[in-house]
Structure 1
Amino acid sequence: MRGVDTDRRLEILNQELKHVRKGLGVHQVGLPASAGPVLRELAGVRADDAPGAVRDKLVAAVRGLVERLPQGRRALARVVFGLDNPTNAGYTTRLAEFGRAADRDVRTIQRRADEVVYLVAELACAAAAREGGDPGVPWHTKRLQVRLVLRGAEVEVFETRRIVSHQRGLTDVRHAISVGRLGLAGGSVDLAALGIDEISGGEVRSPAMVSADRVAFTLRPPHPLEPGDEHDFFFRVRTGEIAPFYCCTPEFDCERFTLNIRFEPKRRPSGVWRIDGEFSKEVADPTPVRQPLRIDDTGEVRADFTNLRPARSYGIGWAPTSWASTES
């Protein structure tokens, strides 16, 4: 199956995992024979493995992927795949029980179960791509440190990003941020008023609006990077008052992200919470139960994240009520 393109491979694996979750999940009797070819390959199953060895490898592979999910998704994923199933309940029964405990209706839990399966498939394909040196990934982030300072209607974002090159002669690192508009429906960001200043590590080039609230630009290092080379960029973004959350939503893998937010003494929010690997469209949704964070005596709050997955959002949200989006 290695000749199958990445998107098709992800689609196949997603369907194979949906088959695995049926009935007793990973403990269903027919699992060794019925597991699909992509899942068997990713689990390291060999043609001469005995059925018991096949089951052990498949269960270990699924369990390992589930443990890499954001904390808020793991409990549901274990239920979906039957990893936690002391009563040997079937799939729909497991979801119904989970929904009652979480005070959510069945349709909501079913939708989130589908999202969890897709996320597990995405994690598996991303890991395989890294091991095989996916040529479509030019670089990844080793460390991202962001300091967000809120001063009334002005916001400053200080970002230090260490990248690792995957390509020969890498000269352009494409970057984008989404700046929340705080209810300015139908409006757009004023690019001229948005300050993007390089401080060290290279140049900021060609900033351009790619949507109503998304700005893309290129970071160019002082010299071309070779595979394995590491390089730090440090730049500042200045903008107007933003919506009440800040997230990193990486395009490529990010090993570590540290976010520090400083609030004004007279404008401290009434609540602060951790956003951990959520779909970007759900970041502004107040429904999910999230881990609360504490603001210290100086008005600062901090969160650390490791092994961020592409296209998922990680960061900090806070009260009050206006909701838009700011992503790095």
Structure 2
Amino acid sequence: MDADTRLKILSQELKDVRKGLGLHQVSLPAVAGPVLRELAGVTPAEPPGAVRDKLVALVRGLVGLLPEGRRDLARAVFGVDNPANETYTGRLAAHGRVVDRDLRTVQRRADEVVYLLAELACARPTREVARAADGVPWHTKRLQVRLVLRGDDVEVFETRRIVSHEPDLVDVRHSLSVGPSGQAGGPVDLAALGIDEISGGEVRALEQVSADRVAFTLRPPRALGPGDEHDFFFRVRARAIAPFYCCTPEFDCERFDLNVRFESHRLPARVWRIDGEFSKEAADPTPSRPSAHVDDTGEARAEFEDLRPARSYGIGWVF
């Protein structure tokens, strides 16, 4: 199926979905066409309730990707918020009263919104559409980490470029593991942990979420819209950490570049890559893993692409 045909078919399928009560119509799972079902990730064996949930999530996600000026109309077109159980024409008439436009004008603009939504869905990679459908607020386009070991002191310099998936994204929740704090395996000492924003926003609401993991909020200088990219650069200072460093993303991460610098007089006996392992296994030095090279300056590097959420990627070592 060529791109123009796919766009035309999807536009018609979206028009079928908007009829009656829109996303709240009883027949939604049966009404949705094959292209829409494909974009929503519907499988043949799924029951109607699961199909409905996926279709609603997809349309909601796509509506969130529209420019702000079109979003309210799109929500009315598909009945995203329809407490009065209004029919399609009733929803458009109500929207027309809010924006002071007659029904014919609103109907014309509703057709434009449907086309724009179909165009968005067809133009973006399937994975990006799926992110919108899943309600993922953002993902990491590129993460660059430089870890410097100096005796018992550790510095982590992190530059993270995120891509927003939703309108008005103002808080980016972030967490990291800092390993043992040197207190006989006790919990992280938040007072001794230094997290400094260098550029791209500010660090807020630092809290401990487990014995060796802390979470905080990164706030950009302005709200981000769908598709907006933004760089955060911050530094973390800690006491001796566990002998590994990993990224375990909550959401998708397209690329992760890690550089670990050891002291020239204290080089590790062995260094290895940790590539897509479960987080509980990442700290275990026992499994056989690919070696990572330490160069003449005491640096080890690793690059990873298309990181899976809840899996760990990084470098481990033993002295």
> TM-score range, shorter-chain basis?
0.5 to 0.7
Look up the match of 1:144.
143
Structure number with bigger Rg:
2
- Alignment partner, residue 37 of structure 1: 45
Output the amino acid matched with 2:293: R
Distance 1:297 1:186 in 2: 33
Aligned counterpart, 1:227: 226
Identity of aligned residues (%): 71
Tell me how far apart the structure 2 counterparts of residues 212 and 168 of structure 1 sit (CA, whole Å).
34
**2:238 corresponds to 1:239:** yes
* Match of residue 171 from structure 2: 172
Residues 222 and 289 (structure 1), Cα distance of their counterparts in 2 relative to 1, 3 Å cut: same
| Offset of residue 289 of structure 1 | 1.6
Preserved CA contact (<8 Å) 2:200 2:231: yes
- The whole-number CA distance in structure 2 between the counterparts of 1:131 and 1:167 is 12
Structure 2 residue matching 1:265: 3-state secondary structure: coil
Give 1:318's aligned amino acid: W
**1:191-229, CA deviations, whole angstroms, 9 ceiling, x for partnerless residues?**
011000000000001111122221110000000000000
Q: Aligned pair 1:161/2:169, yes or no?
A: no
Cα displacement string for residues 3-60 of structure 1 (whole angstroms, at most 9, x for unaligned residues): 7xxxxxxxxx9xxxxxxxxxxxxxxxxxxxxx9736xxxxxxxxxxxxxxxxxxxxxx
Q: State the Cα distance separating 1:134 from its structure 2 match.
A: 2.5
The more displaced of 155-164 and 284-293 is: 284-293
> Which amino acid in 2 is paired with 1:131?
V
Question: What are the within-5 Å matches in structure 2 for residues 1-328 of structure 1?
Answer: 37=45, 130-132=128-130, 133-181=132-180, 184=183, 187-320=186-319
Name the residue aligned to 1:93.
Answer: none
For residue 281 of structure 1, give the secondary structure of its aligned residue in structure 2. helix
- Secondary structure of the residue aligned to 1:192 is coil
The alignment covers a number of residue pairs equal to 201
Structure 2 residue ranges without an equivalent (≥5): 1-27, 30-40, 47-124
Q: Does the residue aligned with 2:265 lie in a helix, a strand or coil?
A: helix
Determine the C-alpha separation between the residues in 2 that align with 1:211 and 1:313.
17
* CA displacement at 1:293 relative to structure 2: 1.1
- Please give the alpha-carbon distance, in whole angstroms, between the structure 1 residues aligned to 2:285 and 2:181: 16
CA distance in 2, matches of 1:234, 1:134: 29
Task: Return structure 1 stretches of 4+ with deviation > 6 angstroms.
Answer: none
**Runs of 5+ consecutive residues of structure 1 not aligned to the other structure:** 4-12, 14-34, 39-126, 321-328
Cα distance in 2, alignment partners of residues 175 and 37 from structure 1: 36
**CA–CA distance in structure 1, aligned partners of residues 157 and 291 of structure 2:** 24
Alpha-carbon distance change, 301 to 237 in structure 1, aligned in 2, over 3 angstroms: same
User: Aligned letter for 1:224?
Assistant: A
Quick one: distance in 2 between partners of 1:129 and 1:212? 34
Residue 285 (structure 1) shift: 1.9
Provide the alpha-carbon RMSD of the alignment: 2.2
Q: Whole-Å Cα distance in 2 between the matches of residues 306 and 313 of structure 1?
A: 12
Alpha-carbon distance in structure 2 between the residues aligned to 1:318 and 1:191: 25
Cα separation, 1, equivalents of 2:126 and 2:309? 14
What is the alpha-carbon distance in structure 1 between the residues aligned to residue 255 and residue 185 of structure 2? 35
* Equivalent position SS for 2:191: helix
For 2:147 and 2:234, the matched residues in 1 are separated by 12
Offset of residue 187 of structure 1: 1.2
Q: Which amino acid aligns with 1:276?
A: D
Displacement of 1:186 in angstroms is 5.6
SS in structure 1 of the partner of residue 133 of structure 2: coil
**TM-score with structure 2 setting the length:** 0.60
- Structure 1 residue 287: deviation in Å? 3.1
CA distance in structure 2 between the partners assigned to 1:140 and 1:219 by the alignment: 14
TM-score by length of 1: 0.58
* Residues in 2 aligned to 1:265 and 1:186: alpha-carbon distance in whole angstroms: 27
Q: Aligned partners of 1:159 and 1:249: how far apart in 2?
A: 14
Q: Displacement, 1:288? A: 2.1
Q: 3-state DSSP class of the match of 1:218?
A: strand
Task: Give the C-alpha shift of residue 135 in structure 1.
Answer: 4.6
| Cα offset, 1:243, TM superposition | 1.1
Q: How far 1:183 moved relative to its partner?
A: 7.4
- In the superposition, relative to structure 1, how do residues 37 and 183 fare at CA in structure 2: closer, same or farther (>3 Å)? farther
Q: Distance in 1 between matches of 2:235 and 2:127?
A: 32
Measure the CA separation in 2 of the matches of 1:286 and 1:178. Answer: 17
Pairwise CA distance, 1:136: 2.4
> Following TM superposition, by how much is the alpha carbon of 1:131 offset from its aligned partner in structure 2, in angstroms?
2.8
